[in-house]
Structure 1
Amino acid sequence: MSDPAANLSPLADTVQVLAFDIFGTVVDWHGSIVRELQALVPDVDADAFATAWRAGYAPAMAAVMRGEQPWTLIDALHRQILETLLPRFGLAHLHEAARAHLNRVWHRLQPWPDSVAGLGQLKQRFIVVSLSNGNLDLLTRMAKRAGLPWDAVLSAEVFRAYKPDPATYLGVARTFDVPPDAVMLVAAHHDDLAGARACGLRTAYIERPLEFGAARPKDVSPRAENDLHAASLTDLARQLGASGPDAATGAPWNT
Structure 2
Amino acid sequence: MTEIRDIDVVVFDVLGTLVDEPDGIGAAVREALSDAEQATVDESVTLWQRHVETEQTRIARGERAYADTAVIDAEAAQLVADRAGIADAAVIARLAKAGQRLVPWEDTVSGLERLSWHFPVIGLSNAGLSALLRLNAFAGLRFHLALSSELAGAYKPAPEVYRLALDAAGCAPERVLMVAAHAWDLRGAQAVGMRTAYIGRSVGDPPKDTDTFDGHFDGLEALTAALVAGA
Q: TM-score, normalised by structure 2?
A: 0.90
Which has more radius of gyration?
1
Rounded to whole Å, the distance in 2 between the matches of 1:157 and 1:224 is: 28
> Is the 2:59–2:154 contact (alpha carbons within 8 Å) kept by the matching residues of 1?
no
Sequence identity percentage: 32
Rounded to whole Å, the distance in 2 between the matches of 1:84 and 1:49 is: 9
Pair 1:42–1:236, CA change in 2 (3 A):
same
Question: 1:168: which partner in 2?
Answer: 161
1:46 paired residue among 41, 46, 49:
41
2:100 paired residue among 93, 107, 112:
107
Deviates more, 1:143-152 or 1:47-56: 47-56
5 Å-filtered alignment, 1:123-142, equals 123-142=116-135
> Is the 1:207–1:220 contact (alpha carbons within 8 Å) kept by the matching residues of 2?
no
2:63 paired residue among 68, 92, 103:
68
Structure 1 position 8, deviation (Å): 5.7
SS for the counterpart of 2:170 is coil
Q: State the 4+ residue runs in structure 1 displaced beyond 6 angstroms.
A: 220-223
SS for the counterpart of 2:146 is strand
Rounded to whole Å, the distance in 2 between the matches of 1:191 and 1:136 is: 22
Question: 1:29: which partner in 2?
Answer: 21
Rounded to whole Å, the distance in 2 between the matches of 1:118 and 1:96 is: 38
Deviation digits for residues 193-213 of structure 1, max 9, x if unmatched?
11111111111101112x28x
Deviation digits for residues 192-248 of structure 1, max 9, x if unmatched?
111111111111101112x28xxxxx7678875110111011221121128xxxx9x
1:181 matches 2:168: no
1:226 paired residue among 213, 220, 223:
213
Rounded to whole Å, the distance in 2 between the matches of 1:85 and 1:173 is: 37
Rounded to whole Å, the distance in 2 between the matches of 1:77 and 1:186 is: 25
Structure 1 position 174, deviation (Å): 1.4
Q: How many residues get paired?
A: 228
Deviation digits for residues 144-201 of structure 1, max 9, x if unmatched?
1211111111011112221111111122111221111111111111111111111111
Pair 1:220–1:61, CA change in 2 (3 A):
closer
Rounded to whole Å, the distance in 2 between the matches of 1:150 and 1:123 is: 8
Rounded to whole Å, the distance in 2 between the matches of 1:109 and 1:186 is: 19
Q: TM-score, normalised by structure 1?
A: 0.82
Structure having the larger proportion of residues in helix: 2
1:87 matches 2:74: no
SS for the counterpart of 1:241 is helix
Rounded to whole Å, the distance in 2 between the matches of 1:203 and 1:186 is: 6
Unaligned runs of 5+ in 1: 1-6, 213-217, 251-255
